[in-house]
Amino acid sequence: MSHLKDAKSLILEFYKDLDAATPEEAAQILQRYTASDYRWRGSYPFDELNGAEAVAEAFWAPYKRAFSPIQRRENIFFASQNRLDGEATTWVCSMGHMLGHFHTPWIGITPNHKMTFLRYCEFHCIENGKIQESALHIDIMGILLQVGSRVIPEATGFVTVTPGPQTQDGLLLTEQEPDEGKATLDLIERMITRLIDTGVKTTIEDLKLDWRDDMLWWGPAGIGASYTQQGYLKGHTRPFEDGLEFIRHNGHIVRLGEGNYGGFFGYPSMTMRATGGYMGLTSDGDKLADMRIVDLYRRDGDRLAENWIFIDHLWFLKQLGVDLLQRHIDMTAPVERFA
């Protein structure tokens, strides 16, 4: 298990140096820790980038200029070999919030000059002591909510700053029993297979097979959080399944499990058709759109207890002709006045 320990140590050092770096130093830090052919997958409007310099220029330097000082508040941290490639690659996963004082514009969003939380989940593939590729999923709609944007539809769940695990044990800094990680990932895959086989149609009977009765589902901005199986149906699955038609599952990039924690991401995960009602959308006919999704889980015994979800809603909605980021920019643009 030394490869997992080494991978974790690398990412911990990387975060320490990156978080302390100035905007101008971000590229140098990335170059130090990443491979020469570094690949980066991001949320819209950043999308896919190649090379440390491109990633620093597009994301890290502008973000660091807008939000400072940045404090990483990590809730979940674990490492695992990727089950989807026969455990040929090693990945580290980190989830939490990046906290900063929002004081200059960022991607067209006017600052609120207040403490602001950017919810994130990041995956890193480690090869030969370097970060070969990363995927950074961020909840930009959560930033829009914090600055009081009027373009975000009312959530069906509870909107809050997403907490870490109830058990407060999500930072797996020490070696874990391999069988525990396998049990976690087996349970996650059993649940996902059942969901896909039903065409993404959830029932209480299905939930009882894999989830605790007092399950917690921590959804992204635009949906919010839900508590208990009945609350989950009311706050997420019924609005989601009634407003969208499941077309196909596109697979995942990784599936990981260590200790009682595990998860995956797809880029994209699913293809959907808007049938009307989801996040205020009307029906869009036969137009299809892809969803980039992250799921992280905490297992409690033989059931799943908590689930943290990231959906790149801005990218999904833009494919359907709804550019929420541009709508926000247009609504907050200064009005020209003429004499």
Mean pLDDT calculated for residue range 108-133:
97
On average, the pLDDT of the chain sits at 94
ω into 111 cis (within 30 of 0): no
Q: Alpha-carbon distance 275 to 189, whole Å?
A: 28
Per-residue model confidence (pLDDT) at position 338: 38
Mean pLDDT calculated for residue range 111-129:
97
Per-residue model confidence (pLDDT) at position 339: 38
Per-residue model confidence (pLDDT) at position 279: 81
Per-residue model confidence (pLDDT) at position 276: 83
Residue 1 pLDDT level (bands cut at 50, 70, 90): low
Question: Scanning the structure block, which residue is given the tokens 């990633």?
Answer: 55
Q: Is the pLDDT of residue 229 over 90?
A: yes
Domains and CATH numbers, the chain: 2-146 (3.10.450.50), 178-326 (3.10.450.50)
Q: Is the pLDDT of residue 58 over 70?
A: yes
- Which H, E and C letters describe 192-223, residue by residue? HHHHHHCCCCCCHHHHHHHEEEEEEEECCCCC
pLDDT (tens digit, 9 = 90+) per residue, 261-310?
999 999 999 999 998 878 877 666 678 999 999 999 999 999 999 999 99
Residue 118 pLDDT level (bands cut at 50, 70, 90): very high
What percentage of the chain has pLDDT greater than the value 70?
A: 97
Per-residue model confidence (pLDDT) at position 337: 42
Mean pLDDT calculated for residue range 116-141:
98
Mean pLDDT calculated for residue range 321-334:
88
pLDDT (tens digit, 9 = 90+) per residue, 3-28?
999 999 999 999 999 999 999 999 99
Q: Is the pLDDT of residue 213 over 90?
A: yes
pLDDT (tens digit, 9 = 90+) per residue, 60-100?
999 999 999 999 999 999 999 999 999 999 999 999 999 99
